[in-house]
Amino acid sequence: MSLSDPIADMLTRIRNALRSRHETVNIRASKVCEGIARVLKDEGYINDYARIEDTTKQGLLRVYLKYGPRGEDVVNEIKRWSKPSRRLYRGVGALPRPMNGLGISIVTTSKGVLSDRECRQRNISGEVLCTVC
C-alpha cells in the first residue's frame, strides 16, 4: 500500500486515537513524522514517542498519548495546513498563531522540524505543516 501523504496519515491516526481514548498509537516512521512527534513532546501535547523496529525496513513510531488529570483532552484540534497538492510557505512574521499563541504551529525548515516559537526565536521561516491547539 502506498501512502501519498504520511503526515496527514500521522495526524489522522493521532486524532482518532485521542477520540477513542487510546494510550498509544503506532505510525509509520519517517524523519518528518519523528520531527513532528519530537515537537509535540517538547510542547507537552504527548507523553513520549519511541521508534520500533518491525518486519519492514521503515519501522514504526509508537506515540504515547497524553490526557489531563481528570481525563480531559490535551489536544483539542490538529489541523493540516500544507498538503502535497498545495504547499504553504510563510515568513517568520506571517507564521500562524493558533488560539492567539495558546496553540502551536509545526513548521519544517532548513534546520529541521520546529515549532512556531522556535522559528521566531531563530528567525527562520518555512513550510507550515499543521497547527495544534
CB of 128 within 8 A of CB of 113?
A: no
- 125 in any annotated domain: yes
Residues 104, 132 contacting (CB under 8 angstroms): yes
78-120 pLDDT, tens per residue? 999 999 999 999 999 999 999 999 999 999 999 999 999 999 9
What the block records as the C-alpha cell of 27 is 505510525
Residue 65 lies in a domain: yes
Residue 68: inside a domain, yes or no? yes
What is the sign of the dihedral through the CA atoms of 51, 3, 5 and 75? negative
**Does residue 26 fall inside a structural domain?**
yes
Whether 18 is in a domain gets the answer: yes
Q: How many domains does the chain have?
A: 1
- Predicted confidence at residue 2, as pLDDT, reads 54
The answer as to whether 1 is a domain residue is no
Nearest residue to 13 (alpha-carbon basis) of 49, 43, 53: 49
Quick: pLDDT tens for 7-33.
999 999 999 999 999 999 999 999 999
Q: Partners of 112 in the beta sheet?
A: 109
* DSSP letters for 24-47: EEEEE--HHHHHHHHHHHHTTSEE
Which range marks the domain in which residue 80 is found? 6-132
CATH number at residue 62: 3.30.1370.30
Does 27 map to a domain? yes
52 DSSP β-pair partners: 60
Tens digits of residue pLDDT in 50-76: 999 999 889 999 999 999 999 999 999
With contact defined as beta carbons under 8 Å apart, do 74 and 40 qualify?
no
In a domain, 40, yes or no: yes
**Looking at residue 82, what is its pLDDT?**
96
